[in-house]
Structure 1
């Protein structure tokens, strides 16, 4: 009888602990979401009067009424486009090799460990590496190319890990079925595994690029300017980016520049939400075509 009572007491304590832990997590989540909504609402209140098409088309200026975000917006578009061009093929290719081709060995474990460690390195460390490697050693100077390559270093480990998880999620039955029909390993990967894992890969890529879009520290290290009076047109041009322009305005003592910074944050949020919407669309579109 005492044994049954002990079991009942243990289960009851487990249910109580589970309920308390779930409640704490729920309250923490609600608190964070409410704080985020309050911050976004304050930004909207401060920046909505300054957000217009003229604000997007105007160049930076010392006068708030004439200042715009054109150079920073175009600089961010340049950076994200080049970062995607460099990081996506390298990241997805590395993930495919590690998951589908590389034999299980100590060398593979060492590489995987280093990739996991690199994903947690602060972005400013990559900025120092980009300064030494791209700006000085390779003599790319303080250009868009140096900034894009530095951001590539920031997001590459994340893309590799996200792509690996997406590849691992594909059932082995798909691979075995393709091999049974006479397909080679490359044909299996290209025509079966990659299409099945594409939604997860695209989600990881878009989220990684979203992080790169919001980075300021590595760009400041490699030489992004706070004031650029022209729109960049080639890889060797000087550049600025949305986070740097926002930081520059928020550091000014004039209240009008703070409103400009809020409007710039709204532009950055619109770009980020658009990128995430693309990831959701791709995941939904290709997810409907795949039936495991």
Structure 2
């Protein structure tokens, strides 16, 4: 063990750094600040440019009506509703599956090889291009399951896409809970499920909410897979149950259609701005729910 000099009070005296080491530290710190600055500038610049081009094109008629070929008008209300429907359906299916799988892998599974295989599989699934998910979803959900091109087929395809993200983020969050929490609860006579429900899950709520935010971001921004499975329908359904069985284009799909097939770049930037606002609102709501849940538990 190295011998350090101590002052009269017994505290260790750290010798000053050499000029070369100080210059090296300043250089590294400068690179870190520069990287952070570039990242923030890119984010602010991207959001600012989208709002600059998109907000002037957002009108009440655009967001409150359906498109009409007879009146020669453009409206995105059906696409906005379809986006919300797909988000709701996907999360209602994927959250119980993903959180349940993560709890099993972390708390119940004893076969380490099986756990490693599942973790490797989920990590591999996160890297598969979305167009492949769309092709598989079209062959399985649309044709084999006979769901046709519909909101339900698109939502089920997205469930398969975002399930690995939910599983991995929840699993990593569960692993951060100290082992002493588990030992203390079990030592006091709590059952394993009671311990998981009242201690483990509330302690890992941050990671679960983060997984939800990542999942919503991918759902909102997905277009390639939904082109094959959900279609580009723009008819307002009476309710979510009627919409599940019919074709429906989301905002991201219609952004592609208006920009690259119809050349309506003003409408495309308006949809992009609405998507950004929608994502920011959902993220804010998720953070608010996270804070409420943490205060409750």
Does the 8 Å CA contact 2:141/2:148 hold for their aligned counterparts?
A: yes
**Number of the residue aligned with 1:158:** 165
Q: Deviations over 1:32-78 (max 9, x none)?
A: 33233233223222222222332211112459982111011011011
**Number of the residue aligned with 1:94:** 101
- Alignment partners' CA distance in 2, 1:18 and 1:82: 51
Q: Deviations over 1:149-202 (max 9, x none)?
A: 000011100000011011111111111111111111111111211122123212
**Number of the residue aligned with 2:260:** 251
**Number of the residue aligned with 1:3:** none
Does the 8 Å CA contact 1:210/1:275 hold for their aligned counterparts?
A: no
Which of 216, 241, 263 does residue 223 from structure 2 map onto?
216
With normalisation by structure 1, the TM-score equals 0.86
Unpaired runs of 5+ residues, structure 1, are 1-7
- 3-state SS in 2 of match to 1:66: coil
**Number of the residue aligned with 2:127:** 120
Note the C-alpha offset of 1:143.
Answer: 0.8
Does the 8 Å CA contact 1:59/1:71 hold for their aligned counterparts?
A: yes
Q: Cα 1:75–1:105, aligned 2, differ >3 Å: closer, same or farther?
A: same
- Alignment partners' CA distance in 2, 1:149 and 1:89: 14
**Number of the residue aligned with 1:281:** 288
**Number of the residue aligned with 1:46:** 53
Does the 8 Å CA contact 2:151/2:246 hold for their aligned counterparts?
A: yes
- 3-state SS in 1 of match to 2:97: helix
**Number of the residue aligned with 1:234:** 243
RMSD (Å) for aligned C-alpha atoms? 2.5
Number of residue pairs aligned between Structure 1 and Structure 2? 279
Q: Cα 1:19–1:135, aligned 2, differ >3 Å: closer, same or farther?
A: farther
Does the 8 Å CA contact 2:95/2:166 hold for their aligned counterparts?
A: yes
- 3-state SS in 1 of match to 2:244: coil
With normalisation by structure 2, the TM-score equals 0.85
**Number of the residue aligned with 1:4:** none
Does the 8 Å CA contact 2:149/2:228 hold for their aligned counterparts?
A: no
Which of 76, 79, 86 does residue 86 from structure 2 map onto?
79
Greater Rg over alpha carbons, structure: 2
Unpaired runs of 5+ residues, structure 2, are 1-14
Note the C-alpha offset of 1:279.
Answer: 2.2
Which of 179, 189, 193 does residue 182 from structure 1 map onto?
189
- 3-state SS in 2 of match to 1:281: helix
Q: Cα 1:105–1:37, aligned 2, differ >3 Å: closer, same or farther?
A: closer
Does the 8 Å CA contact 2:152/2:230 hold for their aligned counterparts?
A: no
